[in-house]
Structure 1
Amino acid sequence: MTPHAADDLEVRFATGDDRAFLTEMLAEAAGWDPQRPRLTPAQVLADPQLAHYLDGWGRPDDVGVIAEVSGQPVGAAWLRRFTADDPGYGFVAPDVPELSIAVVGEWRGRGVGSVLLEAVVQAGSDRGVTAVSLSVETANPARVLYAARGFREVGRGRGSVTMLRESVAACRGGKV
């Protein structure tokens, strides 16, 4: 039997020391589809559209969480604000941070994503965030998680949807 994430899972705030792991998780998020080649962290950082999710990590509005099992990181989620001049894939407005989230492959399907999502939304709410957006490819099974956690579709692009969760304070359970 596969253990559920909650058995040993601990969640902590992301720090500047986590940048390498966040980069790995950004590569994981971008390469969620096993039918496509996985990007390396170096490729992620070389792609301006992806790199800006982490460039200068630790800005005053950045907030992130890391999930660990026995001291080893197994997933991350973070919120970052963008501007209309330099939007993220899920950009809605400059005052609405965009969610990035990923779980190490062997830990998917064990509830880690749910715990991370709740924890980062709560951390954002504690800092005055009232809404969170994200972009997800239409075929990505994580869409089910986002919908179950109150995100609704607000836009469509080529093969992706932008989702928004308003009233983020209603998301409970992931304490950091």
Structure 2
Amino acid sequence: MSASERIRPAVQADGAFLADMVVEAANWRPGSARPRHAVLSSEEYGRYVTGWQRPGDAGVVALDDQGEPIGAAWYRLLPRTAPGFGYIATGVPELIIGVRPVWRAHGVGRALLRRLAEVARSDGYGRLSLSVERDNHAVTLYRSEGFAVTTPAVGRDTMVKRLR
């Protein structure tokens, strides 16, 4: 069974797992170990999970062979007054993705990105945005999945994928 066959829609009960994935995303760099409470209590990261699953939120969760969650990708519509790292415009959802370290580089992230793009397209969105630090190896994945840099910033880039 391939990674793409073990992906299900994210539900409200996945909030704690999505929080875990925000922590994984924040601590992507080897040797980085910001404590869970520090990541989630920060406004910059907490905004991606606080109040999950509100109107406009959608996501997908990847499962291992035993049905345990190993990664997730989801999007939120964040307001201009409280934008996320990858905010580009009102009405463009911002994507967040996290994969447990032992499952990275096994196709899980790619499968999640593809499935979430399908969800966003079916929800009527024309674009998805995200933010990534320039030295993150995931940049290669995002580019290969059609994301392009739109707004460079110090050390990180905002990337956008057109869905139509």
Band the TM-score falls in, shorter-chain normalisation = over 0.9
Aligned mate of 2:8, from 2, 5, 12? 12
Identity over aligned residues, as a percent? 39
Partner of 1:65 in structure 2? 60
Counterpart amino acid of 1:14?
A: A
Partner of 2:30 in structure 1? 34
User: Is residue 89 of structure 2 the alignment partner of residue 93 of structure 1?
Assistant: yes
Partner of 1:119 in structure 2? 115
Alpha-carbon displacement from aligned partner over 1:36-91 (angstroms, at most 9, x marks no partner): 22431x22221011111111111110000000012110100001111111000000
CA root-mean-square deviation:
1.4
Residues 34 and 85 of structure 1: is their aligned pair in 2 closer, same or farther, counting only changes over 3 Å? same
**TM-score normalised according to structure 2 size:** 0.95
Residues 8 and 113 of structure 1: is their aligned pair in 2 closer, same or farther, counting only changes over 3 Å? closer
Cα separation, 1, equivalents of 2:40 and 2:31: 22
Cα separation, 2, equivalents of 1:67 and 1:91: 25
Partner of 1:46 in structure 2? 41
Q: Is the 8 A contact 2:3 2:111 kept in 1?
A: no
| Deviation, structure 1 residue 94 | 1.1
User: Is residue 152 of structure 2 the alignment partner of residue 156 of structure 1?
Assistant: yes
- In structure 1, runs of 5+ residues without a counterpart are 170-176
SS, match of residue 141 in structure 2: helix
Partner of 1:74 in structure 2? 70
**TM-score normalised according to structure 1 size:** 0.88
Cα separation, 2, equivalents of 1:89 and 1:100: 10
Partner of 1:24 in structure 2? 20
Alpha-carbon displacement from aligned partner over 1:87-113 (angstroms, at most 9, x marks no partner): 000000011100100110000010000
Partner of 1:174 in structure 2? none
Residues 60 and 35 of structure 1: is their aligned pair in 2 closer, same or farther, counting only changes over 3 Å? same
Q: Following superposition, which runs of at least 4 residues in structure 1 exceed 4 angstroms of deviation?
A: none
Counterpart amino acid of 1:25?
A: M
User: Is residue 55 of structure 2 the alignment partner of residue 55 of structure 1?
Assistant: no
Counterpart amino acid of 1:83?
A: P
Aligned mate of 2:104, from 88, 108, 114? 108
